[in-house]
Amino acid sequence: MRTELYREFLSARFELEVEREAAGDIVSGTLIDRSRAARWPIVAGVPRLVPPENYSANFGLQWNRFRTTQLDSATGLNFTFNGFWNNTRWRPRELHGCSVLEAGSGAGRFTEVLLDAGARVVSFDYSSAVDANWHNNAARGELLLFQGDIYDLPFDAGRFDFVFCYGVLQHTPDPAAAFRALFAQLRPGGRMSIDFYRRVPYPAWYSTPKYLWRPLTTRLPPEQLFRLVSWYVPKWLPLDTALKSVLFRVPRIGPMLAGLIPVPCWNHLRMGLTRQQRRDWAILNTFDALGARYDQPLTAREVEAMVRGPGREVQVSHGANGVVANITKHGDTAGAPQQAQPRRLRTAAGR
């Protein structure tokens, strides 16, 4: 099945050499970029179009250590499902049978939602998180997964009905260039949804202590930082819970007061997680916040200025990780084709 997806989506400049195939899936082989005389290996079912060592090593570490932590299918919650549909403002029936490019998949929490809606998904990550996503979702539906560079995608322009990118652009060296590279992949009439960390109008450490610590933590090797976070977060979490449970009750300024606690700890108090799940999410998201090499938040106005341009309709709102931008590319086609109702739908507000 995935052999057909390779041939359908990859640019004609690539030549596919298959070494081992099983049940229609390429297990190992080589992608040859004839235009650049470059050869990229396919390892464990995933093409590797970037060097194994790069600035995203921390993401590969965290998603392979916490491979199923944030998947709805593992938590028994609809947190990712509801967040996806409410923020993108898409409908499951619109994605059924359509091509979706997912940029920055992590362990595949959103890949799972896309595949369950019946989409034909091409998903990539710059880090080795693709291995976690492969284990989680390779058997779930029509998925072509690769490790690649957002600035150098292996497709011809205008190839996809939908483009989705959450939790990624602020972690790239040049977010505006990354957005342009993704927008170029959208066909006329196609739709795109991105999000950004929200930059606050006052010093950043008033809303989160991570910006006090990042000048130090980003200098640490990812493994060392992960050991540090895994050591202190479980010890601090009970006290953090007690403090924030009180502060969040303070009208209007409670969240800001909670942000003044100097110990970084992403404590998910109101999500319905078990104690063990909350501990794992706290370690995962605290490490994520402290370890990313790039962290470039924007205001809603800055996001709107970045995504606006001729030939597109833009809606910017607060949501997801801070600011959400939903873009429709103008063209001869009014929108993505309407398809049959997808499999395994669950209830979500805003559908």
With a cut of 60, say whether residue 337 has pLDDT above it: no
CA distances from 82 to 124, 178, 272, 280, 325 (A): 22, 26, 14, 21, 17
**Domains, the chain:** 1-48 (no CATH), 50-199+298-329 (3.40.50.150), 204-291 (no CATH)
The whole-chain average pLDDT of the chain stands at 90
Banded model confidence at residue 204, pLDDT cuts 50, 70, 90: low
Tell me 124's DSSP state. E
* Report field, pTM of the whole predicted structure over 0.75: yes
pLDDT, one tens digit per residue, over 106-127 is 999 999 999 999 999 999 999 9
How do residues 225-250 score in pLDDT, each as one tens digit? 999 999 999 999 999 999 999 998 89
pLDDT at 293: 96
CA 89 to each of CA 94, 100, 320: distance values in angstroms, whole numbers, following the listed order: 11, 15, 12
Are 96 and 120 a contacting pair, CB within 8 Å?
A: no
Strand partners, 100: 121, 162
CA dist., res. 196 & res. 76, Å (int): 27
Banded model confidence at residue 164, pLDDT cuts 50, 70, 90: very high
